[in-house]
Each structure stands twice: as structure tokens, then as C-alpha cells.
Amino acid sequence: MHTAFFVLLAASLARYLARHAEGPHTPWIIALSVLLAVLYVLGPALGTRPTPRRLTWLALVVATWALLVVLAPSFAWCAVPLFYTGLRTLPPRAALSLVALLTALAVAAQLSLAGWPDPNVLLAPPAVAAIAATVFVVMQRQAARRDALIDDLVRTRRDLAATERREGTLAERERLAREIHDTLAQGLSSQRMLLQAADRLWDTAPGTARDHVRTAAAIAERSLAEARRFVHDLTPADLAEGGGLLQALRAVAERETTRALTVRVQSEGTPPDPLPAPVESALLRIAQGALANVREHAHATTATLTLTCLDDEIVLDVTDDGQGFDPHGRAIREATTDEQRGHGLPAIRARLRQLGGTLTIESAPGEGTALSAAIPLEPR
């Protein structure tokens, strides 16, 4: 638009000089043209808001142009860029009034030049003014809607990012709670039970008491390795040692085996190589959590870990010959909602839910318990 203004101004001046170079108003026309060009150049530095300086500048530009049009009607074509200048500076009603005033002045100048009521002169300038004003108003509304949409998108992205950070933080806290429960908390609980048993048997059965202390020390050493692995990358220490999931399950079974409880490991099928790390970690933690429940609640003498590998899923079964319970009864509901000891089965369900797996529990009072955790795999 700025370029169009200077092109029209130069063309109007050239036309006037070509036809009226020797006229009495030529010096004034040249001077007013230069003044109008200088004033127009100063406009962008004043911004677009209707400040007193901006309004004074606009009044000077319009007055200079109007004087030029009176002296040389060919300068009327410079009105089109001035339409946009007024529309950008003034409120809508005042801007449209200015457009109407400039159009009327241009029509009057062209009629005086034509010498008779030319329909083209009467209709063309108002049509051009209407088109220019309509285009500007439509573009301004579209720009306003676009800015509002951009603001809304930015705000939505900011809210979404904040929500994702909160959800990520909560998920990480929940995951860490499960990890700590399945490793450090269970290790500390086992040590406490073994040390209490050793304290009771210290005088009557010192050999057994020493065995309990040694077992507690081994558990403490294992818990320390888990804690260090926690700090490093939260990978289960048994898996970090290599050998795969089956070897890690055997290591867990060996640690959990005591004089009162024997833990065995069985496998059916060949695990995929490599088995996804999240699946390995989840199954190992599930085995640890399930054996902790067996040790603390079942009063069982035998527990069996069975790893079954199928084409499209891998299943870990944990069975015991303990006292069992009613899976749908009040006891299990209280166990899953207890604030201090409620991370066992809920943690297992949460791990399986994250991997799209399922948990099945079969038990009855006096008939032992069978826990089955199945995780789907991509078909081989």
C-alpha cells in the first residue's frame, strides 16, 4: 500500500508536469507533492493507534492532499492508499466518515475536470472506496479472529503441557511407590521378621537364630543393590546382572526359599529374545510382590513360579499351598485399601494395566492361592 501511494503520487505529478509545466501553480504543485511524500514517510514512525500526534499527522496529510486535488484533480487517485491509512488509524465510524469525505472530494475534483456529470466519474470513485473499505474491514475481522484463535491455541497448549506435567509427575510417583514397595519395603519387612524371629530364638536355638541373622544380612545386601540400581536407572538388579527373566526369577526364588517356605520355578515355552524390558521388569516385580504376600499372609510351605511363553502373550503364574482367602470378600477389599499395606495387589494391577495385561486370582479359604498375570506380546 505504501508503494502504491508513492507510485500514484509520482504518476499524478508526472501527468501534471507533462500537461501544465508552464502553469502558474506548478511550483506549488511540486512543493505540495514533496511535502505530502515527506509527511507520508513520517507516518509509520508514529504507530497506528489514534494518539494526538498520529491524528495531527493524519489531518496534515489529508489537508495537503485535498489542496493538491483542488489545484490538480489528477491527484485524486492517491485517495485509495489514504483510505487504508484512515481505516487503520481511526475508529470504524470516524474512518468511514473520512473515506466518504475523501471520496466526495475526489468526485468533485474529477467532475470539475470533466466539465459535465460523467457517470463514470460519479460512480467509479464511490465503488472503489466501497471495495477498499470492505476489503479492509473483512481483513481486520479475519485478523482479529486469527489472533483470538492463536491466543486460544497457545493457552490450550500451555494448559495441556501443565496437565501432562502433572500427570507425568503423578504417574512417576505412583511408579516409584510400587518400585519401593516391591523392593526396599519388602526387604525391610523380611529383615524385620527375621530379626524378630532371631531375637526370640537367640537363647533357645542359637543356630537357627544365626541362620535368621545371616538371611537378614543377605536380604539387606540385596536391598542395597536394589537401592543403588534404583538411583542408576531403576532397572531390577536381578535383570541387570544378565541371564534374562527366567534366571532372574530363579534368583528371586532362591532368596525367598527358607526352612519354612520352598519356592520353585518352572517354565513352559521359550521366551522371546529379546523380551521387552518393560515386560521383564513388570513380571519380575509382580513375582516379588506376590511372593511377599505369600510370605507374610499365606503361611504356605510351597510356592511355585511358572513362566509360560506363548506366541502372542507371556503368563506368570504364582501358586501356593497356603491358607487362601476369599478374593471377593471383605478381607481382600480391606487389604487393597489399607494405607500401610495396600500396595501389593493394586501395584500388580497397575503394572499390568500399563502394559495392557490382565490379572486373575483364584483362591478359597484353606485351598491355597493361584495368581495369574498375562501380558500380550506382538505375534512372532
**What are the tens digits of pLDDT across the range 275-317?**
888 888 889 989 988 998 898 888 899 999 999 998 889 999 9
Query: Using 50, 70 and 90 to split pLDDT, how confident is the model at 32?
Result: very high
Query: Using 50, 70 and 90 to split pLDDT, how confident is the model at 240?
Result: low
Q: Which residue has the cell 494526538?
A: 52
pLDDT for 351: 86
Reply yes or no on whether the pLDDT at 91 is more than 80: yes
pLDDT for 287: 93
> Could you give the C-alpha distances from 250 to 20, 183, 239, in angstroms and in order?
108, 16, 11
Range with the poorest average pLDDT among 76-80, 145-149, 350-354: 76-80
Mean pLDDT of the chain: 84
pLDDT for 118: 75
pLDDT for 242: 62
Reply yes or no on whether the pLDDT at 225 is more than 60: yes
pLDDT for 335: 45
Q: Which residues contact 165 (CB under 8 A, 6 or more apart)?
A: none
Reply yes or no on whether the pLDDT at 260 is more than 50: yes
| All cell numbers assigned to 240 | 541387570
**What are the tens digits of pLDDT across the range 51-64?**
888 889 889 999 99
| All cell numbers assigned to 359 | 490379572
Query: Using 50, 70 and 90 to split pLDDT, how confident is the model at 336?
Result: very low
pLDDT for 330: 44
144-182 burial code (b ≥16 CB/10 A, e <16): eeeeeeeeeeeeeeeeeeeeeeeeeeeeeeeeeebbbbb
CA 155 to chain centre: 12
Reply yes or no on whether the pLDDT at 350 is more than 80: yes
Q: What is the dihedral of CA 187, 188, 194, 200, to 10 degrees?
A: -170
Bridge partners, 229 (sequence order): none
Q: Are the C-beta atoms of 65 and 75 separated by less than 8 Å?
A: yes
Query: Using 50, 70 and 90 to split pLDDT, how confident is the model at 237?
Result: low
| All cell numbers assigned to 92 | 470504524
Range with the poorest average pLDDT among 77-91, 256-270, 281-295, 347-361: 77-91
**What are the tens digits of pLDDT across the range 136-173?**
888 888 999 999 999 999 999 989 988 888 888 888 78
Look at residue 318 and give its three-state secondary structure.
strand
pLDDT for 263: 94
Calpha distance 302→260 (Å, rounded): 8
| All cell numbers assigned to 261 | 517356605
Strands 302-309 and 358-363: unpaired
DSSP secondary structure, 243-303, as one string: SHHHHHHHHHHHHH--SS-EEEEEEES---SSPPHHHHHHHHHHHHHHHHHIIIII--SEE
> Could you give the C-alpha distances from 378 to 97, 275, 310, in angstroms and in order?
72, 11, 11
pLDDT for 337: 42
Using a cut of 0.75, tell me whether the model's pTM lies above it.
Answer: no
199 vs 226, more confident: 199
